[in-house]
Structure 1
Amino acid sequence: MTSENETRPDQVDVLLVTGMSGAGKTTAARVLEDLDWYVVDNLPPQMIAPLLELVGRADGALPKVAVVADIRGRSTQRTDLDHAVDEYLKQGIMVRVLFLDASDDVLVQRFESVRRPHPLQGEGTLLDGIAAEREALDNLRHRAGVVIDTSELNVHELGREVRQAFSSEDAETLRLTVMSFGFKNGVPKDGDHVADVRFLPNPHWVPHLRPFNGTDREVADFVFADPGAGEFLDHYTAALRIAIEGYLRESRGYATIAVGCTGGKHRSVAMAEELGRRLREQTPARVTVRHRDLGRE
């Protein structure tokens, strides 16, 4: 029986940290610890319930618990993780899922750099292990409230993404990242919305504008001198406001809006800057603008 001073499990904020091996779960766990989460690493799903029971006896000392779990070498782990999430949701316990992902090529490079086999590799190749893990975790990825693709992130950038998503400051506010990118470098895999602004005239072909980028006034003025730029931005901002209202109703904590041009230097940067400004003014979301490919050759 729970005493008046004890914290019930349904009063604890529970975060399941999972994802692909090599995608950055250890880094995420360290950042969560810095944000005052009580972090338990490599906990079997069957042990989450006893853990929460113990937390409930801590008199409110541990209101936020993050459990790092994956499917290291166990074929039943996927089912166990899904079942655990379902059971706690039925009991009214707030369970969120953070899923860390990365491209196959990047994961191979990371495993090769530390000269370690993949946990599910067995007698096969690294790619065999990665494919098996990706298939096993597919359902958890789709039900995750926050998905972070770490392919293009260093440990500091990943830390910033985790802090934005799970810092207690403005915890009820939707955090939006507006990210410019270049299609020639690939579409961001963690983009919830992807906009293509390659229909606009390209400043790259204007000799005196080529050395500048979309954060410079000369380039921004050129981009928005085209009537299509303002018309597109008006309609796109209006559509995103509807999506943001839905995210807030569903208590979603994080979303990424990707805006792309050819190289990620001029049009997408100017558009992302202006889109970010409008979303800050017109929505309650906490907006960060990031330029993925700016400075890349």
Structure 2
Amino acid sequence: MRTVDDTLVPRRILLVSGLSGAGKSSILRILEDLDHEVIDNPPLGMLDDIVARAERPVAIGVDSRTRGFDASAVLEALARLRMNPNLRVELIYATAEESVLLRRYTATRRRHPLALHGSIKEGIEEETALTAPLRAAADLVIDTSDMPPPELRQFVESRFSPWEGAAGEGLTVALMSFAYPAGLPREADIVLDARFLRNPHYDPALAPKTGLDADVAAYVAEDSDYLPFLNQIHGLLQLVLPRFVQEGKKYATIAIGCSGGRHRSVTLVEALAKRLSAPDGMGNYQGSGQWPIMIMHRELARLGLGSWRWARKPADAPNTEPASPVS
């Protein structure tokens, strides 16, 4: 197993569960592309043996179709695996709104695994109840209700990079810009509204550009409330991020929205990332520990203008940025 600064890097073990039709199989395929060894729906009694024999990061699909499925048994296996200090074990839960799941099943004409003799709605409700303890215990809940496949790939790639255990046991912070009309990011832990700031959209010279352009960022920063707002956000994160770590959270998504998700929110995310990822004169990071920090501009990615990138990389991350999954 690789080491960082002569310290053993725990091998990543992912248990992927969730509701049928919510994207679990897609998540497993993406993880396989990220060099995880993927096993879908093995008998629960084989989990320990699978993990013991694996030599790479492992992603194991576990859901209501699994032989001998029982949420309490899955949680017991999870706790047992976590006792091994050489493993970094996480539980991922994929979900979606009932109306979305119904629409997906209607469109594909697939049979719900728990609705062999009843309606799809009844099957969804039964599975939701069966897997509720797993959702409650999950390290990461992925709601795919309004997440198209390229965005799901971007989301999974940003959190489970090809290098094993790169983020260690700490927190990974994602700073995301988005557009309110396109919907709130369901994965966000904190959502902030930047729509009160002056809008470059109404300047013909700036409207086609984005907050990644210096003149757009300067225009937004000229608003008298911009700097106080940025300072307030920074202060909030200095307070809450260490508490997230105390609670055992592994992922924190901070989302900043504006009307189009291209100017004001992008400017703020970039400025905040610069603050959090740059050490002060004493070598201390400004309220963000030593945690990896990533930047995600949701609407720019949907327009094909890039994907996620690191503002501060994990300790053993490659020097290259990931290829954009958005074509």
Q: Shorter-chain TM-score: which interval? A: 0.7 to 0.9
1:293 corresponds to which residue? 299
Give the counterpart of 2:190 among 190, 193, 196.
193
Q: Distance in 2 between matches of 1:211 and 1:35?
A: 35
Give the counterpart of 2:130 among 120, 125, 136.
136
Instruction: Evaluate the alpha carbon distance shift between residue 127 and residue 262 of structure 1 in structure 2; reply closer, same or farther with a 3 A threshold.
Output: farther
5 Å-filtered alignment, 1:46-65, equals 47=45, 50-53=46-49, 55-56=51-52, 58=53, 62=55, 64-65=57-58
The answer (yes or no) to whether the contact 1:23–1:100 under 8 Å persists in 2 is yes
1:8 corresponds to which residue? none
Instruction: Evaluate the alpha carbon distance shift between residue 52 and residue 63 of structure 1 in structure 2; reply closer, same or farther with a 3 A threshold.
Output: farther
Alignment of 1:237 with 2:234, yes or no, is yes
Alignment of 1:277 with 2:274, yes or no, is yes
Report Cα offsets for 1:234-288 as digits up to 9, x if no partner.
1212221333334445554322111112332332222222222222224333222
Give the counterpart of 2:92 among 80, 98, 103.
98
Alignment of 1:67 with 2:77, yes or no, is no
Q: CA deviation at 1:67?
A: 1.9
Instruction: Report SS of the residue matched to 1:100.
Output: strand
Q: CA deviation at 1:147?
A: 2.2
Instruction: Evaluate the alpha carbon distance shift between residue 43 and residue 76 of structure 1 in structure 2; reply closer, same or farther with a 3 A threshold.
Output: closer
The answer (yes or no) to whether the contact 1:179–1:291 under 8 Å persists in 2 is yes
Q: CA deviation at 1:97?
A: 0.4
Alignment of 1:163 with 2:157, yes or no, is yes
Q: CA deviation at 1:190?
A: 0.7
Instruction: Evaluate the alpha carbon distance shift between residue 71 and residue 194 of structure 1 in structure 2; reply closer, same or farther with a 3 A threshold.
Output: same
2:311 corresponds to which residue? none
Report Cα offsets for 1:174-216 as digits up to 9, x if no partner.
3322211122222111111111122323333445544433333
Q: Distance in 2 between matches of 1:36 and 1:293?
A: 28
The answer (yes or no) to whether the contact 1:18–1:97 under 8 Å persists in 2 is yes
- Give the paired residue count: 280
2:320 corresponds to which residue? none
Q: Distance in 2 between matches of 1:169 and 1:83?
A: 23
Q: Distance in 2 between matches of 1:199 and 1:69?
A: 45
Question: Unpaired runs of 5+ in structure 2?
Answer: 1-9, 279-285, 304-327
Q: Distance in 2 between matches of 1:270 and 1:66?
A: 36
Instruction: Report SS of the residue matched to 1:220.
Output: helix
Q: CA deviation at 1:54?
A: 6.0
Report Cα offsets for 1:136-180 as digits up to 9, x if no partner.
333322221122233444444433433332331623163322211
The answer (yes or no) to whether the contact 1:164–1:175 under 8 Å persists in 2 is no
Q: Distance in 1 between matches of 2:165 and 2:88?
A: 18
Q: Distance in 1 between matches of 2:155 and 2:232?
A: 28
2:42 corresponds to which residue? 43
Q: Distance in 1 between matches of 2:128 and 2:199?
A: 38
Question: Unpaired runs of 5+ in structure 1?
Answer: 1-10
1:184 corresponds to which residue? 181
Instruction: Evaluate the alpha carbon distance shift between residue 91 and residue 220 of structure 1 in structure 2; reply closer, same or farther with a 3 A threshold.
Output: closer
Q: Which amino acid aligns with 2:133?
A: N
Alignment TM-score, normalising by the size of structure 2? 0.71
Q: Distance in 2 between matches of 1:277 and 1:290?
A: 14
Q: CA deviation at 1:72?
A: 3.2
Q: CA deviation at 1:31?
A: 3.2
The answer (yes or no) to whether the contact 2:167–2:291 under 8 Å persists in 1 is no
The answer (yes or no) to whether the contact 2:194–2:264 under 8 Å persists in 1 is yes
Instruction: Evaluate the alpha carbon distance shift between residue 204 and residue 160 of structure 1 in structure 2; reply closer, same or farther with a 3 A threshold.
Output: closer
Q: Distance in 2 between matches of 1:54 and 1:203?
A: 54
Q: CA deviation at 1:73?
A: 8.9
Q: Distance in 1 between matches of 2:270 and 2:11?
A: 38
Which structure: greater helix fraction? Answer: 1
Q: Identity of aligned pairs, percent? A: 38
RMSD: 3.3
1:260 corresponds to which residue? 257
